[in-house]
Structure 1
Amino acid sequence: MLITTTMTTIFDKQMNIAHQLKGADLFTLTVFLTAARHLNFRAAAVELDVTPSAISHSVKTLEQRLSVRLFNRTTRSVSLTDAGERLAMKLGPAMSSIADAMLEVDDLRATPSGTIRINASEGAIRMVLRPVLARFLREYPQIHLDIVNDGKLSDITGDGFDAGIRLAEAVPQDMIAIRLTDNIRFAAVGSPTYFAAHGRPAVPQDLHQHDCIRFRFDSGAIYRWEFARQGAVETINVNGPLTLTDQPLMVDAAIDGIGIAFVPEHLALEGLCDGRLERVLDDWCPSMPGLRLYYSGHRHVSTALRALIATIAKPQ
């Protein structure tokens, strides 16, 4: 295929830019953007699998080359200067385009390879990813999975993830979402010994007289229990002796007789089946849209990510 004059001009311009960047290669710019996203050199080092001193040295080298300070650094905090903010805003889309171009070329390989970064809640990891991990990594040995357990509903694009897994209601509207599970039902459960000592709530409002095991989001907010029956909706701000950020631990606490837990039904099934747990308010417990894997429609979807999606969807 002949290269036109226009293409030659474009290549010449790109080569000139590459020459200008010889003191600040792609890795240095990647380090800068990662540090700018985290505002924490140690966190950037963990993500890039280098030492914090390597991050600091790379940033210092870039600042010296540009003759401008990009970060304000103290012993307690890191923040972007005005120049740093401007550089990050300009570099972000450009580096994203470079990454997409590399992924498209990488997809020409016969075997899917590379790293897939997934952001998901702990429940999603246990329910969707854990059952397929061994099979997936055995079938695709050239793929590395980097799974982050995160309950803060992170911006997956801004934070450098390839995809996220969340309940459907938590997926941003501008994302492409793939259904992974049927609707998820919640269950209010407690131990037989707890109900023998405290009685059983007949309606959601009765929970105010019970010990409840509360759930705290990573944001710090306490989950308010949501019930529904025949069009009537009840939202209860429960109280109790224990607040946790881990739903499986809530189930364990309910089994131990500490109080009533309100959790996704699948987490409590084992205890319900062997009699260590009993249901209450069953006709009030709602179902909600299940888990979705989602990703940006504005970025290239690698063959590695497509392979993961196919593996999750494939019956064992």
Structure 2
Amino acid sequence: MALDPSLLASLAWFAHIARHRSFTKAATEMEITRAALSQNLKALEERLDVRLLHRTTRNMSLTEEGQQLLDVLQPALTAIERAVEGLGEVHAEPTGMIRMNASRIASRLLLEPYMGEFLARHPKLRLDLIMDDGFSNLVANGMDAGIRLGESLDEHMVAVPITPPLEMAIVGSPDYFRRHGVPDSPADLMGHNCLAYRFTSSGTIDHWTFTAPGSEGRKLVFEPQGNAVFNDDDSMLRAALQGVGLVRHIDLCVREHLASGALVRVLAPWCRPFPGFFLYVPSRAQMPAKVRALMDFLVERREELALPQRKRVATEDRRVKRRHGSRARLL
């Protein structure tokens, strides 16, 4: 049976009374008279043919039926209130503080280069950026949003991709390869100086994972055994640029060095794509305007980040076609 719409206001009034356990307090909050509130509740009980409150001159308590009704009403009214507030924010200018958590790599790659543009677009917003290479619990730590790799996210997390799929790239300087040769497979890395990265949060060394070319996709794991270990990727990259050794890094982070020729990539067929960085939030429901503004901005940047990658793939495809003709599509 459909609910009589005329009951909705009375149900909301009952929820106010039950929450305060006082006609006087509920009437003050709602800016109506105590008598009007009492009469409304009495009419509601008569229509439902059930007593909702035990009332005396000194005390008020819910009946069993009243508690059952309140248990359903309270979350429903809260959801309605948030939805109405969200509608009011649709055309409102985003304001306030955005507290967010990101790894150092994500911050340098996706936030710092665009921070000026974002804050200029939304002058009433402020950013409180916490750089943390561990995985932060947004709700427990009072964060509005976070950025992590897709493979690091909990399956129940609400997340939106803000980069294209990524690859781990093995790179070194041209001078290094002139002195030590170019590896043709991961097995050849045993004869190279492979610089290691140590995770700050766990203290473990980042192992290099490879997938054999072809349909079988056999996994290989290599532990770098070089003459230096880093817990900062910028320091590790500077060592590679100086010709110290080979490093493994996200392709997007070394793209400019590859384009300039300062670094050269090897073993690309052994490095499969994986989900890139995601912006994750506690809930998509009634998302604050400030968080929505950040999400929309970073999604825009995703398309920009994908353009150079598409050009590179197209260039490589043309080069393969020149070498192998029409069979290139079968490679």
Q: Look up the match of 1:130.
A: 112
Q: Look up the match of 1:275.
A: 261
SS at match of 1:288: coil
Q: How many angstroms apart in 2 are the aligned matches of 1:132 and 1:13? A: 52
Counterpart selection for 2:227 from 241, 256, 259: 241
Q: What does the per-residue CA deviation read over 1:39-87, in whole Å, with 9 as the maximum and x for residues that have no partner? A: xxxxxxxxxxxxxxxxxxxxxxxxxxxxxxxxxxxxxxxxxxxxxxxxx
- Kindly state the Cα deviation for residue 300 of structure 1 after the two structures are TM-superposed: 4.8
Contact 2:160 2:279 in 1 (8 A): yes
5+ long unaligned stretches in structure 1: 17-97
Q: Look up the match of 1:84.
A: none
Matched letter for residue 205 of structure 2 = I
Counterpart selection for 2:250 from 248, 258, 264: 264
Q: How many angstroms apart in 1 are the aligned matches of 2:297 and 2:206? A: 33
- Kindly state the Cα deviation for residue 204 of structure 1 after the two structures are TM-superposed: 0.5
SS at match of 1:194: helix
Q: How many angstroms apart in 1 are the aligned matches of 2:107 and 2:205? A: 22
CA RMSD of aligned residues (A): 2.8
Q: How many angstroms apart in 1 are the aligned matches of 2:296 and 2:165? A: 20
Counterpart selection for 1:167 from 125, 145, 149: 149
Counterpart selection for 2:273 from 287, 291, 309: 287
Q: Look up the match of 1:194.
A: 176
Counterpart selection for 1:4 from 13, 19, 40: 13
Q: How many angstroms apart in 2 are the aligned matches of 1:306 and 1:280? A: 39
Q: Look up the match of 1:178.
A: 160
Matched letter for residue 272 of structure 1 = L
- Kindly state the Cα deviation for residue 306 of structure 1 after the two structures are TM-superposed: 0.4
Counterpart selection for 1:114 from 80, 96, 103: 96
5+ long unaligned stretches in structure 2: 1-8, 26-77, 305-331
Contact 1:174 1:296 in 2 (8 A): no
Q: Residue 222 in 1 paired to residue 205 in 2?
A: yes
Contact 2:86 2:287 in 1 (8 A): no
Counterpart selection for 1:301 from 262, 266, 287: 287
Q: Residue 141 in 1 paired to residue 127 in 2?
A: no
Aligned-residue sequence identity (percent) comes to: 33
Matched letter for residue 281 of structure 1 = L
Q: How many angstroms apart in 2 are the aligned matches of 1:289 and 1:233? A: 17
SS at match of 2:256: helix
Q: What does the per-residue CA deviation read over 1:97-149, in whole Å, with 9 as the maximum and x for residues that have no partner? A: x9xx8998598463221111111112212222234311221122221111111
Q: How many angstroms apart in 2 are the aligned matches of 1:184 and 1:272? A: 15
SS at match of 1:164: strand
SS at match of 1:287: coil
Q: How many angstroms apart in 1 are the aligned matches of 2:204 and 2:285? A: 32
Paired residues, what number? Answer: 233
Matched letter for residue 235 of structure 1 = V
Report the TM-score, using the length of structure 2 for normalisation: 0.64
SS at match of 1:268: helix
Q: How many angstroms apart in 1 are the aligned matches of 2:192 and 2:87? A: 56
Q: 1:161 to 1:14 in 2, by over 3 A?
A: farther
Which is higher, the Rg of structure 1 or of structure 2? 2
SS at match of 2:221: strand
| Structure ranking higher in strand proportion | 1
Matched letter for residue 303 of structure 1 = A
Contact 1:251 1:261 in 2 (8 A): yes
Q: How many angstroms apart in 2 are the aligned matches of 1:285 and 1:7? A: 60
* Of 273-282 and 186-195, the range deviating more from structure 2: 273-282
